Structure 1
Amino acid sequence: MSILFDILREAGEEGEDRDKLAALVGPPSLAKGEDADEDNAFTDCLALGQDLGVVLTDQDRVRLAEPYRASRDGFLKVAVRLMVDEVETAVPAEGWVAGAIAWMLCQDPLELLPWTGSGATTRILNQLGAQQVYGMTNYSRFQQAVYWARALGFVTRMHLREEVVVPDPTAALLERLDAVLPVGGETTLATFIGNLSRLCPVFDGGSVRREVASRIGAASDERAASPALALALHRAKQRGELEFKMLSDAEIVFVPGMLGDGRVSHVSRPGAGA
């Protein structure tokens, strides 16, 4: 999809010929069958772009919607904004990626999600039931959701004894740091998490996160960071992006393993010369 996005942005208002795009994005080697025509990666990308409102089609021409032609943002920045940050609820069809990511972030990183087999889908069904599973109806669709979650910075994949998925939103957190806490700034951790959740609703306290957590019966405690967010905070600290401290007269948020006893009141972002 990133390739299609870049080609169409370069093409400008006139767009590009559909057959030419199909040959570039979905060559015959990627087709699902010998007579698949466009039944390949190209049609999947085109459908996704149309669902997001990013791509427009007109007979034999394909073009980007006007707001995205002059944008300097790459496809993933556009996608995370449309599929996650601007989503208010996971219920509509367009909210399924945000809902799937929120579900993954409700899981404890210590309880790894199997990449293959029925382990992940069994957990999904046990927690969510069969009616609304945010597109993760089988292990193949779960893997599709993981592809998005990983590309957008909310999970990682690791190969231990088997390949597993780890709810780890470190990359997504770091991507939003400038908007949440400027370099050299300091605030309470409670305020930091609140600002983060308003910017990205799948993080602790966000509207989509609360919706999904309520469905699976996950405890919601504003005084404690979830295990997935705690992991991201630890990694941000290890990378020198964030620092934490405890002041006895301030509001406390519990972050397991941080500052010894897990009690944190303030977070700061070291200045450029720190």
Structure 2
Amino acid sequence: MSIVTTAQAVPSRLFAIYAALFNSENGEVRDRIEAWATPPSLSGRGSDDDGESTTTLFSNTLAEARRIGLVEEVDNKLRLTADARSGGKRREDSEAYFLAYMRRTLFDPGRAAETQQAGFMFALSWFLSSSPLRPMSFSEPPQNTLKAQIGDHASKTELTSLNRYQNFLYWARYLGFATIVGGANDPEDVTSRRVIPDPVKAIESALPTIFAEASDLAIEQFMTRLAAIFPVFETGSVRYDYESLRLTPVVDGDKRLSIATSLALQRLVDRQRLTMTGVADAASRILDFGSREGRVSRIMLREAA
């Protein structure tokens, strides 16, 4: 099981458990945490709007929280693990610590494998190789597309049903890799929703680490450091594994950045967070914007607005 395959393990439910335990260093009994983490509208009804029991909703979410290393049980009480707490104590900072822990766990290949989450990065590598210029449907599972791209290896993404696909999309958005649009007038109308590969928030979150030692980097240095944080980007180990399985390799794949990466970098330039330049005779990467191309050899960090 994983955050993709466990239907109940959406970001809001895992965070509800995390937040409920954040201020309780000595832990809390399970029943009390269940009362805090279960929405009041459901706690007295016995089932959610889909007919699922609230006990199952909580127990399956808690099982995933344990599997991913967020929660442990000591002396019949649930509490956050020391790694998940990361020294945080102020309640208003709890989501920042939760997001940092999830990124730290999901994007470390060793930790992801240990906690049964490796499928998420593989699915995200596929997602980021897709074009944001052709938004995907939120309500149509991608099995046929995956089968056409990587054949029998499609199951490695764990996106084998609509529910799993949508769980993946919720996490991709939460972690800064996707935008979901549509359904504003009717949230229940999932057929009108579209999904766009959009890693700008994830890249921006990594900039302090990437530029920790210098504010001006060659493009290959930049991509290597980005991929060390998020191995789903070009030059990253998981992205390489995905690309190696493609039935039709990308032309100039070792020189070209995907449209999703190219547009995200350009948006950060437009926001005055980065500057991209081309230097004659220097090693460069092709920026793919769909209708046009560009080249970048160096990336510079600008001061935050």
1:83/1:95 contact within 8 Å kept = yes
Is 2:87 aligned against 1:57? no
Change (3 A) 1:7 1:186: same
Q: What residue identity is the alignment partner of 2:227?
A: S
1:18 aligns with one of 30, 46, 51: 30
Q: What residue identity is the alignment partner of 2:256?
A: A
Give the Cα separation in 1 of the matches to 2:67 and 2:230. 21
Give how far 1:228 is off. 1.1
Give how far 1:25 is off. 0.7
Residue-by-residue CA offset, 1:237-256 (whole Å, 9 max, x unaligned):
11111111111131111113
Give the Cα separation in 2 of the matches to 1:91 and 1:2. 21
Q: What residue identity is the alignment partner of 1:75?
A: F
Give the Cα separation in 1 of the matches to 2:289 and 2:172. 26
1:121/1:139 contact within 8 Å kept = no
Give the Cα separation in 2 of the matches to 1:88 and 1:19. 33
Give how far 1:60 is off. 4.1
Give the Cα separation in 2 of the matches to 1:134 and 1:46. 23
Is 2:131 aligned against 1:108? yes
Q: Secondary structure at the match of 2:255?
A: coil
Change (3 A) 1:109 1:27: closer
Give how far 1:59 is off. 7.1
Q: Secondary structure at the match of 2:72?
A: strand
Q: What residue identity is the alignment partner of 2:56?
A: D
Give how far 1:43 is off. 2.0
Moved more, 73-82 or 16-25: 73-82
2:82 aligns with one of 45, 66, 69: 66
Q: What residue identity is the alignment partner of 2:275?
A: E
Q: What residue identity is the alignment partner of 1:113?
A: M
Paired position in structure 1 for 2:148:
126
Give how far 1:95 is off. 0.6
2:85/2:97 contact within 8 Å kept = no
Give the Cα separation in 1 of the matches to 2:110 and 2:262. 24
Is 2:172 aligned against 1:149? yes
1:124/1:133 contact within 8 Å kept = no
Q: Secondary structure at the match of 1:255?
A: strand
Residue-by-residue CA offset, 1:203-229 (whole Å, 9 max, x unaligned):
111011111122224426232111111
Give the Cα separation in 2 of the matches to 1:115 and 1:249. 44
Is 2:78 aligned against 1:48? no
Is 2:49 aligned against 1:39? no
Paired position in structure 2 for 1:267:
299
Is 2:27 aligned against 1:5? no
2:21/2:79 contact within 8 Å kept = yes
Alpha carbon RMSD of aligned pairs, Å? 2.8
2:273/2:303 contact within 8 Å kept = no
Q: What residue identity is the alignment partner of 2:143?
A: T
Q: Secondary structure at the match of 2:261?
A: helix
Is 2:210 aligned against 1:180? yes
Residue-by-residue CA offset, 1:22-70 (whole Å, 9 max, x unaligned):
1111247443487935112x22331221111121125742111123335
Q: Secondary structure at the match of 2:73?
A: strand
Change (3 A) 1:46 1:94: same
1:103/1:212 contact within 8 Å kept = yes
Is 2:278 aligned against 1:246? yes
Unaligned runs of 5+ in 1: none
Unaligned runs of 5+ in 2: 1-13, 89-95, 184-190
Number of positions where the alignment pairs a residue of Structure 1 with one of Structure 2: 268
Give how far 1:172 is off. 0.3
Paired position in structure 2 for 1:199:
229
Give the Cα separation in 1 of the matches to 2:129 and 2:231. 13
Give the Cα separation in 2 of the matches to 1:89 and 1:75. 16
